[in-house]
Chains A and B, each alone.
Chain A
């Protein structure tokens, strides 16, 4: 920056000598350029305002943002947490129902046959809980 330009800038801001150091066309153009720059800067610093005509659109935007459903994040960790919780519930249920004192363990007949010709075999549990395998034969067995 030249000395005469600095003097013009100071004078424009209200500082320094009131008389132009170099009163010519070049200085006048420079001063005009500074004025235009300062006016533009003032305009840029102006705070945004919502005019009355813009307010309905502004509120409509806010309403849409509030009412819009949230995005669901079904990521890996969410699925992992759910799986772990399900497995823990299953494990707890298994331990409770497999070792509970109320579980009835009874004698169980898996299979029953006979080689007596014409005889039949039945398996059942009688009234006192005893497992029974009974062979029914004819009065005289067939040999």
Chain B
């Protein structure tokens, strides 16, 4: 085997950082309202449909969690998928690429409608880019929601 041949093989193996990404991916999301209800120490309440997220939610400094919205949609590469959560918040997501380890790079942001100087404006409460392992969740949280905070779980389905 010649040195040139080995070098070409190495370059081919290392060079394929981003594989072809043409098929749509399925995105699932669950939005949660997290509040403090002054429950006894150590006691936390999880609403229906949040069993799968319990281990992540109980680490947050809140004692009551209620599901607000759950949804699932197919998102094509470089096409924006939108998930309205409430009248105030909308989750938007755009798949960007797929890396050699199977992770899907996505741009995710949460739009928030607010009033400023008597006018309704939209701002990005959270704006992030992440590489998601299919089947694993990304947690976005912190924006205010009534008396609590908004928490969103996002996942690319396998």
Binding site for B on A (CB under 8 A): 80, 83-84, 87-88, 90-91, 94-95, 98, 105-116, 119, 121, 123, 126-137, 141, 143
Q: Which residue of B lies closest to A131 (CB)?
A: B138
A115 touching B132 by the CB < 8 A rule? no
- What are 20 A-B contacts defined by CB distance under 8 Å? A87-B10, A94-B10, A95-B13, A107-B133, A107-B138, A109-B130, A112-B127, A113-B127, A115-B125, A126-B59, A128-B59, A130-B56, A130-B136, A132-B56, A132-B138, A132-B141, A134-B142, A141-B114, A141-B144, A143-B115
Q: Is B75 on the interface with A (CB-CB < 8 A)? A: no
- A112: chain B residues at CB < 8 Å are 126-129
Determine the distance from Cα of A98 to Cα of B15 in the docked complex, in whole angstroms. Answer: 13
User: How far in angstroms is the closest Cβ of chain A from B95?
Assistant: 14
* B41 contacts chain A at the CB level, 8 A cutoff: no
Given A105, A127, A133, which contacts B102 in the complex, CB threshold below 8 Å?
A105
Q: Does B143 contact A (CB under 8 A)?
A: yes
Partner of A137, one of B1, B101, B138, B143: B143
Task: Determine the distance from Cα of A141 to Cα of B131 in the docked complex, in whole angstroms.
Answer: 30
Interface residues of B in 76-94 (CB under 8 A from A): none
What secondary structure prevails in chain A residues at the interface with B? mixed
Q: How far is the CB of A79 from chain B (nearest CB, A)?
A: 10
**With A111-B129, A128-B59, A143-B115 as given contacts, are A91 and B142 in contact (CB-CB < 8 Å)?**
no
Q: Note all chain B residues with C-beta closer than 8 A to A141.
A: 114, 144
A105-B103, A114-B124 as given contacts; A131 in contact with B139, CB under 8 Å: yes
B residues 35-75 with Cβ under 8 Å of A? Answer: 55-56, 59
Determine if B6 and A88 form an interchain contact, defined as CB atoms under 8 angstroms apart. yes
Q: Would you list which residues of chain B between 104 and 129 have a CB under 8 Å from chain A?
A: 105, 112, 114-116, 123-129
- B7 lies within 8 A of A87 (CB): yes
C-alpha gap A115/B142 in the complex (Å): 13
* Bound CA span A135–B6, Å: 49
Q: Are B139 and A130 interface neighbours, CB within 8 A?
A: yes
Q: Which one of A87, A107, A123 lies within 8 Å of B103 (CB-CB)?
A: A107
From B10, B124, B128, B129, contact of A90 by CB (8 A): B10
Cβ contacts B2-39/A at 8 Å (1 or 0 each): 11001101100110000000000000000000000000
Q: Are A113 and B55 in contact (CB under 8 A)?
A: no
Residue in chain B with minimal CB distance to A124: B139
